[in-house]
Amino acid sequence: MKPKTHLVLFDIDGTLLLSGGCGRAATRLAMQDVFGTVGTLDRVSFAGKTDWQILLEALQSTGITPDQVAARLDAYNQAVARRLSEIIADFPVRACPGAPALVTALRAHPAVLLGLVTGNMATLVPIKLRAAGYDPADFAVAAYGSEGWDRAMLPPLALERARALNGADFAPDNVVIIGDTPGDIACARSIGARTVAVATGPFSMAQLAQHGPSYVFPTLEDTPAVLHAILNDGYGG
């Protein structure tokens, strides 16, 4: 099979779907299960962060050390998935405008390999995707928030996995990260990738534009325009 030439990596929350608060609710329950406290979770912003980083910030004042968080991360990964499965039906999880059509178009393009770069713990990803109507199998590679406490640690993992699966490298200009926060833009820049920023999360187009993405859109609803941006100004028709 001919290797793919374009790698497209999606963020999840605020980009592919809106979780309606189910992630924060599951985090609260799982933290109580595993750590016995939620610390300062109510004051922690989730936007653009990994779940590991959120734990570190929330537990910083509790006396639980980063090493202790790391030691319990596998247990937390399982607990938060169990808790999310229990409660997700009570939340209005839905796909972001235009995102399903874009995923369908990219999946059908012979030059594109689809993947994820997400701050979510690995166990949460298929639960959230299915709840919003996506097939997790459409995303062939991924890097998760359970694999790094800083978001910039994740794109190199996804890129390495994509190269191994593809059997060939991707030119930096043909790697695109799609996300809704400045953190997505920064982590794309860390591997020389281009960024499509979308204002379906907590940041406006103007706020995202200040961080220098390659493109910024209000939503992903204009499929031809977004495809044009992703495919390096119209590669491959």
Is the distance from CB of 119 to CB of 49 less than 8 angstroms?
Answer: yes
Q: 121: Cβ–Cβ under 8 A, 6 or more apart, which residues?
A: 51, 52, 76, 77, 80, 81, 144, 145, 146
* Structural domain boundaries in the chain: 6-19+93-230, 22-90
Tell me: the pLDDT tens digits for 125-174? Answer: 999 999 999 999 999 999 999 999 988 899 999 999 999 999 999 999 99
Strands (E) located in 130-213: 141-143, 175-179, 194-198
Task: Look up residue 89 and give its two tokens.
Answer: 């039906």
Tell me: the pLDDT tens digits for 74-129? Answer: 999 999 999 999 999 999 999 999 999 999 999 999 999 999 999 999 999 999 99
Tell me: the pLDDT tens digits for 207-232? Answer: 999 999 999 999 999 999 999 999 97
Task: Look up residue 79 and give its two tokens.
Answer: 């607990």
Q: 75: Cβ–Cβ under 8 A, 6 or more apart, which residues?
A: 34
Phi, then psi, of 114 in degrees rounded to 5: -100, 145
Tell me: the pLDDT tens digits for 54-69? Answer: 999 999 999 999 999 9
Whole-number Å distance between alpha carbons of 218 and 205: 6
- The Cα-based distances of 117 to 71, 146, 214, 224 in angstroms read 23, 11, 17, 23
User: 22-90 belongs to which homologous superfamily?
Assistant: Putative phosphatase; domain 2 (1.10.150.240)
Give the pLDDT band (50/70/90) at residue 235.
Answer: very low
Domains 6-19+93-230 and 22-90 share a fold: no
- Note the pTM of the prediction, 2 decimals: 0.93
- The Cα-based distances of 101 to 68, 161, 166, 219 in angstroms read 42, 25, 24, 12
Whole-number Å distance between alpha carbons of 67 and 60: 12
- Cα angle 66, 71, 74 (rounded to 5 degrees) comes to 120
6-19+93-230: CATH topology is Rossmann fold (3.40.50)
Whole-number Å distance between alpha carbons of 189 and 186: 5
Whole-number Å distance between alpha carbons of 202 and 186: 16
